[in-house]
Structure 1
Amino acid sequence: MKRFKGVSELMRWIRDFSEEYFSEPVEFFGEVRDARVNRRNVLNIEVVETVKGYRSGSFTYQIPCQIDYPESILDELGIESYKEMEGELYSVIGKLVFRVTQNRYVVEVIKIEPYGKGAIEKRRQKILEKLRSEGLYPVKQLSSLLELGEPILDIAILASPNTRGLSDFLRMLQDSPLIPDFTYYPISIEGASAAKELVSALGKANNRAHQLIVIVRGGGAQGGLLYLDDESLARAVASSKLPVIVGIGHSEDKTLLDYVASMSFETPTAVGREISQINRDYIHSLSELEEKLDSVFSELLSSFVSNIQSRSRILSAYSIERMIKFDHQKLLSFVRRLNRIDFLTDNMKEALNRSRKNLISNSANIMNEKTKWFWLNLKEFRRHENELSSRIKNFEERITPEIIDLERFLMEKSRDFKKLTGYFSSNAKSFYRWQRERLQRYIAEIRSINPIYALVKGGAIVMDEEGKAIVSIEDVKIGDEVLIRLSDGSLRSEILEKITTKKKNLVKE
């Protein structure tokens, strides 16, 4: 058994052993993720391969690769940016070496060539075809949040805590004249658990009375987007009862979420700006509607009062005169009938004189009957004339108070409407001030728990190579590289020694 004095000696032995036994170049192919150039002008790429497990699930294997002086790679591969390598398959020839300071194996690339279309896009299209067969894709996408038909007043926010994307989104919401209520669901937007946490948060948000769900991510490495190309996550977004809005923070990259979401924006800032603009347009439309309603109601009221006054004049003058004229015509008709009766009576007298011998008795009876009939009809006419005069008088007495009451009713309703519009305007201003104060309190609370503000006061955050915070010396080993984040930048350092603080004494390990 070979013994070593410490970890550093072991690491150096591994390096020497690798140089001796791994001296020959290796050749392999895989999908490129997260291509970026560091400060030493070295192109770092991750080459990965996802294989199906023996029972269920899948496993992703990855190996870091480095290319010195990468400028020539752009011409050889026919690309304009290293980011274009991401998501594509490449064949790699290089030398496997062990980095002591990084505590990992890397491949120093000798030659790299395209190997074909990347597996990421193929897998993405396969998932979309599966969702299409289930009737979940394509989803009904919104061209604008105006299609919701109402202001945005209740939002479910799914984002990682203490990230710039979340801060940018909340900052844009502050510009909204109607600041919406929001429920924050803290989740991890990157890492192996990202998809599972997002699916769980989507389920919780759909069980509450939100208007829409917003998923935001503030930039980050392009490789972190791969965790969002998950089938279960895409299915949860596509089947969501609430509209899902996505702002991932990568203008040139897409994920499955961009295909299955109701709307997709390039950045969280764009999402917040769209919501603020929708609420601003809604308030503007309400103001215009209020002005139009006030104008229309005033015109309608004026027209109605004018119409009532005109009809009142007609009713008080023309209609009564018309009724009197109609009854007068009836009276003249009755007089003509009486004259006709007189004419017939004279004829009958002449006939009686000519035939008085035979009809004298009958003529006398007929004359008596006609005389009685005349006086009876004359009495009936006088009775109708009295009734008509009474009806006209009653009609005038009834219609005059009704006209006065109608004018009083319209004046009261006009005063009530003006009070109502004043009350609405006052409440809208109070509601705006109250919502603005709420958002300011929420922002203050978020800032109070943000560890980034500790940097401004002279503090620092120490993280390992994976970006996890180091809170104890047990979290690192001698030889590890750490990243120290300050208020004006970051420092990369190597652990040379660990010193344990016990009470007030310092003891070296």
Structure 2
Amino acid sequence: MTYYQETKAPVVWTVAQLNRRVSQLLDEHMPVVWVRGEISNFTQAASGHWYFSIKDDRAAVRAVMFRGRAQAVGFVPRAGERFEFRCAVSLYEPRGDFQVQVEGMRRAGLGDLHEAFLRLKSQLQDEGLFDPQRKRPIAALPGCVGVVTSLAAAALRDVLTAMARRAPHVRVIVYPAPVQGADAPARLRQALETAIARAEVDTLLLVRGGGSLEDLWGFNDEGLARAIAASPIPVISGVGHETDFTIADFVADLRAPTPTAAAELACASRAELLDQLGARLGALNHGMRRHVERASLRLDRAVAMLVSPQQRIAQQQQRLDGLVQRLRRQALTLPERPRQRLETVLFRLQRSMPQVALRQQSLDSARRRLLQAGEHGLVLRRQRLQAAQQTLQALSPRLIVNRGYAIVRNATGKVVQNALDLNVGERLDVELSRGSVSVDVVRAHDLL
């Protein structure tokens, strides 16, 4: 047996260095790949990330799909379903776990349908057909509900059973149309348009049982989506199971997870309405009793304050008798005093009465004095005005100009009084008795 001794010390890596190196090699040399497999151990975290395994009959690999990419899928996958995954291979360095990061997924064998679904969803979303602001409110108490589905569909039985149980007072009208097959989209649109044209229901239910993406494809039609969006009648979609999503679900005014749930959302329970009605009737009765009790109390107080006419007459008669007796006593004891008081009152009344004739004479005299004063004042003001006019005319420079004089102004319009204030070449305006002229200063000298 031969023993070999190493002549060079080996390079020793830490576990972290090893995992980092393997991760770098995967990032550099392993491109993004498509992997086909079955989902297992699916978990949706509170953060929105999906954690699951992709397996086939011989192997399995851990996978993660982060929230942003998971929201773009449009549905929640279930364990046991087969998909094709677009993923990047990586290594989770803290634990050294080999995993793949899923960037997109589609059902195995239906990849083209899923891609078409995503394209149409993106297009209609950009146009605003999914906008909550444009969706119509559902009628709270409908009198009639329409159902668009197949007559042979189990979903119709579920809806009718739920309606009979919850709201037997609400009429149900079925607008039959196939829910699967090549002609399903056109027939569904036709049934929807018929319901809109007849305008006999308050709410429309568009329902179908669960199935694969291919089975539900009739509800991913663009024409049907636009018809739902344009419907003046609110539409509730209940297509497939809770995890199934179609374009009709996004466009409808309300999406129900199942056909039964769609029927429950379409109208309130009769039992709940009866309970609410009973509660309101009880409140009304209680309020009426309180009102009657308060009215009875007011009536009792009024009755207590009310005096019968006979009793009131008797009281007044008694009071009158007392006054008569007091008057008689006063008349017997002081007969002169009331007469004196009456004469005093009459004298004061005569003095207070207005003397109309005297007042009229005084008024006429005052009117004459006022007119005389006004006329005298007007004459004085006219005389003062004439004197002022004569003085103004005597002082007017126009009279001086008319006698052969002139008014000389410089370029600024100021009257020139001193020749020494002028400059040679300065332009002057000379106002004459009739008209004006412009002159230039040739020379200027003062008067000695």
Q: Give the TM-score taking structure 1 as reference length.
A: 0.42
Q: Give the TM-score taking structure 2 as reference length.
A: 0.47
Name whichever structure is richer in helix by fraction. Answer: 1
Larger Rg: 2
